[in-house]
């Protein structure tokens, strides 16, 4: 399909148009339905395979584009969502920014701070937004948790404890491919590390880390990281690809504890429970059901529309990349020692 054939899809409508770069499962299963309920207009889906792009785009009512470069050349595409393998993120984010497109990168965005700073610098030079997709943060349960902590429900915050683990699956999947940026730290460890930053101060740093590697797979399959800030708040983050499913964090304060029982991947219709423990009383708080992917595309659209909304996302991207790289480096040094 040639670019000129895409005009009916790509040039109509006053809303910002977004294209999806790749047909990953998360894009088809979660992003496509969410975009339809967000302020964006879904313009196109691109794949290296014409057949795959047409199969996905046909059901979504948008244009099908063969090749990622062609998506970046297409008129009417103002922004792109990139759910490609981790190893491809930095390259295609840079190309998208150079083509004048705002960028939403699936987590983990990039593997190190320098790459993050380079993307942010390019985005700011071009007057564009670049944002890392931690969709879980857009679920209302986290705003509820933040409000309870800020309101003194658990006294002064002392520590964060987060865990995200999933059972082993087909070893041929991308998350087990080292050359594609696989491994437990990148696949699931990024979640509790990112969540911890909602509660630790700007001085957050890595105090210790460990990773367990599977010799046959060639990637880390579990790990732990300890973070801390200048106010004495600590964060213990554990994660793995060889565990029973767990998706939780808790906040321990001077006068109580708050537990989010389904913190990272609640289903669209689920109502996660927050458990507030205060002395001899326990209160169960039911969060509203929400599609957190609608929330992330809505937040991304706000950053596209308003330059003032971009700085916080740019800062978050750099900070997350720095901490994740430090965790990996600290763990590898410890293993070597």
180 phi and psi, to 5 degrees? Answer: -105, 10
Rounded Cα distance between 132 and 314, Å, is 9
Q: How far is CA 206 from CA 80, 229, 308, 318, 327, in A?
A: 32, 9, 30, 15, 6
Domains and CATH numbers, the chain: 3-135 (3.40.50.720), 140-289 (3.30.360.10)
**8 contact partners, CB below 8 Å, separation of at least 6:** none
The pLDDT value given to residue 245: 97
Of the candidates 162, 158, 137, the residue with the CA atom closest to the CA atom of residue 149: 158
The pLDDT value given to residue 4: 34
Series of mean pLDDT values for 10-residue runs along the chain (337 residues): 48 79 94 96 96 94 96 94 97 98 98 98 98 98 98 98 97 95 98 98 97 96 98 98 97 98 96 96 97 98 98 98 98 78
The pLDDT value given to residue 75: 86
Q: Is 25 exposed, middle or buried (0-12, 13-18, 19+ CB in 10 A)?
A: exposed
The pLDDT value given to residue 334: 72
| Residue that has been written with the tokens 């708080």 in this structure | 285
With b for 16 or more beta-carbon neighbours within 10 A and e for fewer, the 110-135 pattern comes to: bbbbebbbbbbebbbeeebbbbbbbb
Indicate if 107 belongs to the active site.
Answer: yes
- Tell me if 250 sits within 8 A of 259, measured CB to CB: yes
- Tell me if 292 sits within 8 A of 183, measured CB to CB: no
Pick the catalytic residue: 52, 91, 107, 175?
A: 107
The pLDDT value given to residue 244: 97
| Cis before 48 (ω within 30) | no
Distance of CA 26 to the CA centre of its chain: 11
């Amino acid at each position: 399909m040639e670019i000129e054939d895409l005009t009916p899809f790509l040039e109509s409508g006053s809303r910002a148009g977004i294209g999806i770069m790749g047909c990953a499962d998360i894009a088809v299963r979660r992003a496509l339905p969410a975009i339809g309920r967000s302020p964006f207009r879904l313009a196109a889906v691109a794949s290296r395979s014409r057949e795959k792009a047409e199969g996905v785009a046909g059901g979504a009512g948008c244009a099908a584009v063969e090749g990622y470069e062609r998506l970046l050349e297409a008129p009417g595409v103002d922004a792109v969502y990139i759910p490609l393998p981790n190893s491809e993120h930095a390259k295609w984010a840079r190309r998208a920014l150079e083509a004048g497109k705002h960028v939403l990168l699936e987590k983990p965005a990039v593997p190190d701070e320098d790459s993050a700073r380079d993307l942010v610098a390019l985005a700011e030079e071009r007057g564009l937004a670049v944002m890392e997709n931690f969709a879980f943060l857009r679920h209302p349960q986290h705003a509820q948790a933040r409000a309870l902590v800020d309101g003194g429900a658990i006294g002064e915050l002392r520590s964060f404890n987060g865990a995200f683990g999933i059972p082993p699956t087909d070893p041929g999947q991308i998350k087990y491919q080292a050359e594609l940026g696989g491994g437990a730290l990148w696949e699931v460890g990024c979640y509790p590390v990112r969540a911890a930053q909602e509660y630790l101060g700007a001085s957050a740093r890595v105090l210790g880390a460990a990773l367990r590697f599977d010799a046959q797979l060639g990637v880390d399959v579990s790990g732990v990281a300890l973070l801390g800030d200048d106010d004495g708040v600590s964060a213990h983050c554990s994660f793995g690809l060889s565990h029973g499913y767990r998706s939780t964090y808790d906040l321990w304060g001077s006068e109580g504890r708050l537990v989010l029982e389904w913190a990272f991947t609640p289903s669209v219709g689920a109502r996660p429970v927050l458990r507030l423990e205060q002395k001899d009383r326990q209160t169960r708080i039911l969060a509203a059901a929400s599609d957190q992917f609608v929330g992330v595309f809505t937040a991304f659209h706000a950053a596209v529309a308003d330059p003032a909304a971009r700085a916080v996302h740019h800062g978050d991207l750099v900070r997350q990349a720095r901490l994740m790289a430090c965790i990996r480096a600290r763990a590898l040094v410890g293993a070597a020692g």
